[in-house]
Amino acid sequence: MKQNIYDNPIFFNQYKALRQKQYNYNRLLEQPTMKSLLPPLANLQILDIGCGMGEFANYCIDHHAKHVTALDVSSNMLAIAKQEHSHPQIDYQLQAIEDYEVASNSFDCITSSLSLHYVKDFDAVIRQIAQKLRPNGIFIFSVEHPIATARHTLDDNWIYDENNNRLHYAVDHYQEEGLREQTWLVDGVVKYHRTIATMVNTLITHGLTIEKIVEPIPGKEAIQQLPSIEKELRRPSFLFIKAKK
Amino acid sequence: MKQNIYDNPIFFNQYKALRQKQYNYNRLLEQPTMKSLLPPLANLQILDIGCGMGEFANYCIDHHAKHVTALDVSSNMLAIAKQEHSHPQIDYQLQAIEDYEVASNSFDCITSSLSLHYVKDFDAVIRQIAQKLRPNGIFIFSVEHPIATARHTLDDNWIYDENNNRLHYAVDHYQEEGLREQTWLVDGVVKYHRTIATMVNTLITHGLTIEKIVEPIPGKEAIQQLPSIEKELRRPSFLFIKAKK
């Protein structure tokens, strides 16, 4: 990982504004899906990779997790996390997962919301995660869906007619894994595209068993609150994988 | 399943012509991938669902399988299979998997090449397969990739510019599972679209463990032999899942 667009001040202010909206993809789609996949949290030792502003770490503590180690590479993010969601059972650390040193078998549950598509060396990160997880521990992550990251130009892959109606979603270069640049809030946001096969097989190679794959579908209520989210029915934005050690 | 387009005489003759071409997707991409995923076949009891003209059943016997039960719903297909690949250890049966009655735990390996997208009730078929497989038995299947079956109109999802160059591939309606009609050789070929999540989770629900997912990539030699297959790099046509009971 170590790309740190979240410490770019222009990006960060726009990102904060987006996240503060009452209805956004995080609140209506990503977080509900993540929470639906969690095991009962009581007494668990949790590692959250890419913890951002700490809402999820806080949610875990609210649901009786024993302790959350919350990593992020952005000091901007962590400053807000510490301000808004400080708690004696949450340990915020300015760390990339690749550099984070901790004994093997330390965690009952490892989570990562929309951060592993910033990681260049997915195999190395999954190896680390598999090692840090206790036997029978659970790993759940979400990334941008490979359908959405495939094309070289990620800026807007919807194709429109002359009246600005969405005709279809454009996919290309699916098998060319690697770097994609995107203008998202600012220029030059860097993500890494990889195929579903690569992600699933990397987990299996490192000894994890696939428990569930989710390509989240917004419910009726979410569509009422944010009508534009209905386009998730036409192509998925997110991919979740839940696996067990 | 039970759609039986292969017994439509016009379709069947065109399909035969396609399959007899020296270089086609089957020979260059689907079959090599299927064979690369097989366990050692010696002494195995195999069930092949949608056996077509029997080449794969014959391959298994050539590789020392003990016995192959080869099902197909097309009497046209089976007539050719029996003519070209008859063998005392191959039992051809005019049967849909849903109707095929056999004791549980009968097979060491169950395969299906490009037939399960014709199946309406995927859950019922996977339940049957999981039951008929012995403990530690292997199930490998290929289907048309959900990226390719998502759109309502399957006829040609490539979008072209005015010079007939492929611009990108069109995806739409991904979350709307169900029937898709296609003109492939003839009008009205019926397939069923389902998401990757649905396929993977159905296998897991029925007690199978995912061992590998493959979205096949043609090699350099295949591209030399059939240059048009290079577009597989831009979007996958096929999805393979290998699972273990």
pLDDT digits (tens, 9 = 90+) for A166-192: 999 999 999 999 999 877 666 677 899
> pLDDT of A68-82, one tens digit each?
999 999 998 999 999
Q: Choose, out of B166, B175, B208, B217, the residue to mutate when testing the contact with A (most A CBs < 10 Å).
A: B175
The arithmetic mean of pLDDT across residues B181-210, rounded, is 90
Predicted pLDDT at B134:
97
- CA atoms in the 13 A half-sphere facing the CB of B151: 18
| pLDDT recorded at residue A193 | 97
Going by their DSSP bridges, the two strands A209-214 and A238-244 should be labelled as: antiparallel
- pLDDT tens digits along B112-124: 999 999 999 999 9
* pLDDT score at B98: 83
pLDDT at A11 over 90: no
pTM of the model: 0.94
Indicate the residue of A169, A171, A217 with minimum beta-carbon distance to B175. A217
Residue B214 distance to chain A (closest CA, Å): 6
CATH class for the region spanning B5-144+210-244: alpha beta
Cβ distance of A234 and B209 shorter than 8 Å: no
At B209, the pLDDT band (50, 70, 90 cuts) reads very high
* pLDDT band at residue B179 under the 50/70/90 scheme: very high
- Per-residue pLDDT, B3: 59
Domain map (residue ranges) of chain B: 5-144+210-244
What average pLDDT score do residues A134-142 get? 98
Neighbour count for residue B123 (Cβ, 10 Å) = 14
Q: How near does any CA of chain A get to the CA of B124, in Å?
A: 19
On the question of pLDDT at B2 being above 70, the answer is no
In chain A, what residues touch B200 (CB-CB under 8 Å)? 200, 210, 212-213
Cα–Cα distance measured from residue A98 to residue A103, given in angstroms and rounded to the nearest whole number: 14
Edge to edge, the sheet with strand B45-49 lists: B90-94, B67-72, B45-49, B107-113, B133-144, B238-244, B209-214
Tens of pLDDT along A13-57?
Answer: 777 777 777 788 999 999 999 999 999 999 999 999 999 999 999
More confident residue, B185 or A198: A198
Given a cut of 90, is residue B131 above it in pLDDT? yes
The type of residue at B116 is L
Helices (H), chain B: 9-20, 25, 31-37, 55-62, 75-84, 122-132, 146-149, 196-205, 220-225
Q: Report ipTM (2 d.p.).
A: 0.93
Task: Report the residue of chain B nearest A244, measured CA to CA.
Answer: B209
Report pLDDT for A125: 95
**Residue A98 above 90 pLDDT?**
no
What's domain A5-145+192-244's architecture? 3-Layer(aba) Sandwich (3.40)
Q: Is the pLDDT of residue A2 over 90?
A: no
User: What number is the average pLDDT over the span A95-114?
Assistant: 90
